[in-house]
Amino acid sequence: MSAPSRPSLLNGCPRCRRGRIIEGGFMRMNKSCPECGLLFERESGQHLGAAALAYALGAAIGLPLFFVLLMNRATPLQAVGVPTLVLAALSPINVRLSRQLWAHFLFMIQR
């Protein structure tokens, strides 16, 4: 039997750093830390902040790419299409990262 892997920097519980925020499936978030019991989902609608963070991360990636393509004389279809495809491909990672960042942010401000 192998030893359990250590959680990554962002996937570790903000309180104990041992439990995982996202476990099992790629997008399944634990309701609480399996190690210390910290609630990750404290109230309904909490993930609205994570959605706004995901939107901001997407804009931080998509807008510079859009302008670089425009400056390099890409067609309007290319300037819009390429960032759209890149953001669609990165959206699962973006959503997961934003949920983890939001859980750490909420723990930091609610201490």
Confidence check: pLDDT of 85 > 50: yes
Confidence check: pLDDT of 68 > 50: yes
Backbone dihedral angles phi then psi of residue 6, each to the nearest 5 degrees: -75, 140
- The whole-chain average pLDDT of the chain stands at 84
Backbone dihedral angles phi then psi of residue 22, each to the nearest 5 degrees: -115, 125
Could you tell me which residue, 6 or 82, shows the higher pLDDT? 82
Average of per-residue pLDDT across 33-47: 79
